């Protein structure tokens, strides 16, 4: 039987890579995206890579009528829910937009799913829900923390509401995937991350410095209690992340309840290690200066990926050189991203 999967936010960075992986694995895919942070070009490129296209519906997850119509016209087996806003800084300036898109949007989506009798959901959560853990690596049974910004709080609120939902009705089968730091691009160089304006995240910033669009990187904090004083994170290749979604999907289709899985590599790298690895892969210099810590940042954060390995039969396979080479291939071939 061919499953048809609804991918919300499927034109975005992680959604487009996962849409590609789903199509390559033989799933039928419907993408719902309002294109507020993406371009339809990403899906044309997906079709170019794999020779198959998802059905694309331009629309908003907060649109009740559209969702009801979508679930009536398409026989959806499960939803991969990526749609949402993701900029920490913007969430501080525009909290209502974040609660509306991320929280109210998820409520509307779940209402439409329940109405249509679709109970399988994979939700894009984040390691940010752990707050500032005192111990590394981070396991799924660690308590969730106090996120320091509306974006983080919106992710935790959705996790909580999905837990309540599953308690209220045993038909729900929900995966909460807590991503660590997604980086990289498809090895073809055709799809990748295309941030709008000045990048917030480390690797898009580094690659725009390398290509000469930005002058130098500011390294936020060199006085953390880490190996070289700079922040340590668990960077995971977006292709590994996409594969993790397919494993989670296969698993939740066989069970019910809420399952939480970390998607990370289990290895932490510092900002300076990332700069060096990128310089090596690209052959370009990345000028940087050490500046003050960024408010709200934690010193270090990396996953214990054992639970996902045991329960999903999934492991991140790609190492730092591949993450860097693929990021650079995408950036060099698409200096203006998708040209939005």
State the catalytic residues: 151
How would you label 268-299 residue by residue, b for 16+ Cβ within 10 Å and e otherwise? bbbbbbbbebbeebbebebebeeeeeeeeebb
CA distances from 46 to 71, 84, 222, 240 (A): 24, 21, 39, 17
For residue 17, give the nearest of 235, 238, 218 by alpha carbon: 238
> What tokens appear for 115 in the block?
């109405």
Residue whose CB is less far from ligand UDP, 86 or 245:
86
Q: Sign of the CA dihedral 235, 240, 245, 249?
A: negative
Residue whose CB is less far from ligand UDP, 54 or 268:
268
Q: Residue 74 binds which entry of ligand NAD, ligand UDP, none, with Cβ cut-offs from 5 to 8 Å by kind?
A: none
The helix (H) or strand (E) run that includes residue 235 is strand 235-237
Q: Residue 288 binds which entry of ligand UDP, ligand NAD, none, with Cβ cut-offs from 5 to 8 Å by kind?
A: none
Q: Residue 84 binds which entry of ligand UDP, ligand NAD, none, with Cβ cut-offs from 5 to 8 Å by kind?
A: ligand NAD
Q: What is the DSSP string of 80-92?
A: EE--S---HHHHH
For residue 273, give the nearest of 329, 219, 214 by alpha carbon: 219
> What tokens appear for 169 in the block?
């009705």
Q: Is 11 helix (H, G, I), strand (E, B) or coil?
A: coil
Segment interacting with ligand NAD (CB under 6 A) among 12-20, 49-57, 272-280, 313-321: 12-20
CA distances from 151 to 95, 160, 165, 223, 285 (A): 8, 14, 21, 26, 33
Segment interacting with ligand NAD (CB under 6 A) among 22-30, 33-41, 111-119, 251-259: 33-41
Q: Which of residues 182-211 bind ligand NAD (CB under 6 A)?
A: 182
Q: Residue 18 binds which entry of ligand NAD, ligand UDP, none, with Cβ cut-offs from 5 to 8 Å by kind?
A: none
Segment interacting with ligand UDP (CB under 6 A) among 109-117, 216-224, 238-246, 310-318: 216-224
For residue 258, give the nearest of 173, 315, 182, 336 by alpha carbon: 173
Tell me which DSSP letter residue 224 carries. S
**Which of 116, 161, 214, 220: binder of ligand UDP (CB under 6 A)?**
220
Task: Write down the least CB distance from residue 206 to ligand UDP, Å.
Answer: 8
Position 148 contacts ligand UDP (CB under 6 A): no
Position 101 contacts ligand NAD (CB under 6 A): yes
User: What is the β-pairing status of strands 232-233 and 300-301?
Assistant: parallel
Task: Write down the least CB distance from residue 283 to ligand NAD, Å.
Answer: 26
**Which of 54, 105, 192, 204: binder of ligand NAD (CB under 6 A)?**
105
Position 34 contacts ligand NAD (CB under 6 A): yes
Segment interacting with ligand UDP (CB under 6 A) among 54-62, 111-119, 214-222, 308-316: 214-222
- CB within 8 Å of 290: residues ≥ 6 apart: 219, 221, 222
Number of residues that bind ligand NAD (CB under 6 A): 27
Number of residues that bind ligand UDP (CB under 6 A): 14
Segment interacting with ligand NAD (CB under 6 A) among 76-84, 203-211, 267-275, 306-314: 76-84
Task: Check if the beta carbon of residue 149 is closer than 8 Å to that of residue 313.
Answer: no
**Which of 14, 202, 286, 325: binder of ligand UDP (CB under 6 A)?**
202
Task: Write down the least CB distance from residue 262 to ligand NAD, Å.
Answer: 11
Position 61 contacts ligand NAD (CB under 6 A): yes
Task: Check if the beta carbon of residue 178 is closer than 8 Å to that of residue 129.
Answer: yes
Residues that bind ligand NAD (CB under 6 A): 8-9, 11-15, 33-38, 60-62, 82-86, 101, 105, 124, 126, 179, 182
């Amino acid at each position: 039987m061919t499953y048809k999967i609804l991918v919300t936010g499927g034109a975005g960075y992680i959604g487009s890579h996962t849409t590609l992986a789903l199509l390559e694995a033989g799933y039928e895919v419907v993408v719902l995206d309002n294109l507020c942070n993406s371009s339809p070009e990403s899906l044309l490129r997906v079709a170019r890579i794999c020779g198959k296209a998802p059905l694309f519906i331009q629309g908003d997850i907060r649109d009740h009528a559209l969702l009801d119509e979508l679930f009536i016209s398409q026989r959806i087996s499960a939803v991969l829910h990526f749609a949402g806003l993701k900029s920490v800084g913007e969430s501080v300036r525009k909290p209502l937009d974040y609660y509306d898109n991320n929280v109210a949007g998820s409520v509307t989506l779940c209402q439409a799913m329940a109405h249509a009798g679709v109970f399988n959901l994979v939700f894009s959560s984040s390691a940010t829900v752990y707050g500032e853990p005192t111990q590394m690596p981070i396991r799924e049974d660690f308590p969730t923390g106090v996120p320091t910004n509306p974006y983080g709080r919106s992710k935790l609120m959705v996790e909580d509401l999905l837990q309540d939902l599953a308690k209220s009705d045993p038909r729900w089968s929900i995966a909460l995937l807590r991503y660590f730091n997604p980086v990289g691009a498809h090895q073809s160089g055709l799809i990748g991350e295309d941030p709008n304006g000045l990048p917030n995240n480390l690797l898009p910033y580094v690659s725009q410095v390398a290509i000469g669009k930005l002058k130098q990187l500011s390294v936020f904090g060199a006085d953390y209690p880490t190996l070289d004083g700079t922040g340590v994170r668990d960077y995971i290749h977006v292709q590994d992340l996409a594969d993790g979604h397919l494993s989670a999907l296969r698993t939740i289709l066989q069970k019910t309840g809420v399952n939480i899985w970390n998607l990370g590599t289990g290895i932490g790298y510092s900002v300076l290690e990332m700069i060096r690895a990128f310089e090596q892969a690209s052959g370009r210099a990345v000028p940087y200066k050490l500046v003050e810590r960024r408010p709200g940042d934690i010193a270090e954060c990396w996953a214990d990926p054992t639970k996902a390995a045991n329960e999903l039969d999934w492991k991140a396979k790609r190492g730092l050189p591949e993450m860097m080479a693929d990021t650079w291939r995408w950036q060099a071939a698409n200096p203006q991203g998708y040209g939005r």
